[in-house]
Chains A and B, each alone.
Chain A
Amino acid sequence: MPVPFVTRGFQGKPRATGDAARRVPPSQYLTTDFPVLSAGPTPTKNLRLWSFTIEGLVREKTSWSWAEFQKLPAQDFVVDISCVTKWTKLDTHWRGVSVDTLLEHVDLEPRGAFATAYCDGGYTTNIRLPDLVNGQAFVASQYEGAPLEAEHGGPARLVVPHLYFWKSAKWVRGLHITEKETPGFWESLGYHIRGDPWKEERYSGD
């Protein structure tokens, strides 16, 4: 076993203990702020033109307008989120539609195993279907009791809290179901294909 490296003179700040400490994945730090990270300008929303679509390996492509989407049964979610840029935020409150609810409206072809979330502004991210179902992921339109702000992904953002937050695509417009996994935007630029914070799957090869 190699001797673990120790940085001379480094002790670290006093850490959170107890429950909070157990909920922070390795090498992450706790923040109460909500940093904004996007690769380009924030798209402006026009709800009249907004829709959410599930397509690809489904028997029938299905879309909802903004008004239709608001009528879907929404749920409240309280989740911890971790960004690959190293911050973790606990107990964030969201309201949105579970991906399970959305998938009830389509017939998935058995070959479908992956989804590519696509967005206004051209962003994409790939997610395995098993990471999207069973209450693990939702499309949020409210954050902390208010409509989701544009810089945080409003009008609607995918939230997959158990993966690094780049998977929680801002300005999401749909899911494209595929048989094979197609690396999305960051996944094509050196970031990990899955992005589990508890395994520190930050970069390709981790």
Chain B
Amino acid sequence: MAITSAATHGKRSATAATDERRILDWQIATIAAIHTETPRVRTFTLRLPDWTTHRPGQHYDIRLTAANGYSVQRSYSIASAPEREGEIDLTVERVADGEVSPFLHDVAVVGDQIEVRGPIGGYFVWHSALEGPLLLIAGGSGIVPLMAMIRHRAAATRRPATRLLYSSRTLDDIIYADELRGLAARDDGLEVVHTLTRSQPAGWTGYGRRIDDQMLSDVRRPLGDAPRVFICGPTPLVEGAANGLVRIGVPAERIRTERFGPSGK
């Protein structure tokens, strides 16, 4: 049985390989804008001399190099839709003991140049030609690659029924809150469901707890038994949501995950 799936993967790779075999060269991007999303999260708009269209869900690598030659690299998901040409948005959470995100937040200014390469990643991707329905689950800054999908969907002519379940700590930690409200108000099949795990403001009508099987079941129900699922967030949230969806009957092969941060152990 296992070897059958191996063979299937091999066959699929033959077609995937052709459009992925592109040399990824470093290029020097210019920071065109910096936008504060939440107290800990900023969006950096990068103008790219060698822009290529990306698929929502992909990321870029950033490389910082010191005068003494020391360099570091990190990957950041693309937040913007591929419809925007010549530039990309990277939304970055400031990690207190990090090395690249504190530099971007505290040192980098508009007009600075940054080395990047991408777009990278061919699995955690969605484009509007793929049929739905679509279930997106985000924890914290895990919303970023999903936002690229939501923005791409908004710009597309085909818009599958889509639900976003978005877990944040507090109201102030919700990234893209206004834009998500606006997109949901278009009433074109996108629904946004929030849960706030740490504190909820007076009159809060969303969920107020960590994601659990009951919540997953409620959010998934209108989408049928086998929606296409993308989950991105800290490891414990992704593990919990992915395993929970499998428990409530969503086929494992419909679920794609991207994890970041510590393992929580």
Contact = CB atoms under 8 A, between A and B. Distances in A.
Interface residues of A, number: 54
Q: Chain B, interface size: which category?
A: 35 or more
Interface stretch (B32-40, B67-75, B127-135, B174-182): B67-75
B20 A174 contact: no
A46 to B, nearest CB: 13
A40 B26 CA distance: 29
B64 interface: yes
B8 A176 contact: no
Contacts of B120: 190, 203
Interface in B230-265: 235, 239, 242-243, 245-246, 252-253, 255-257, 259-263, 265
Interface of A: 4-13, 15, 26-27, 29, 33-43, 53, 55, 85-86, 116, 118-124, 151, 173-174, 176, 182-190, 203-206
A118 B9 CA distance: 10
Nearest to B242: A41
Nearest to A206: B24
Contacts of A6: 65-67
A191 to B, nearest CB: 9
A39 B242 CA distance: 11
A4 B65 contact: yes
A185 B252 contact: no
B113 interface: yes
Contacts of B124: 39
Contact of B9 (A11, A36, A188): A188
A12 B72 contact: yes
B6 A118 contact: yes
Interface string B2-26: 1101101110110011001111101
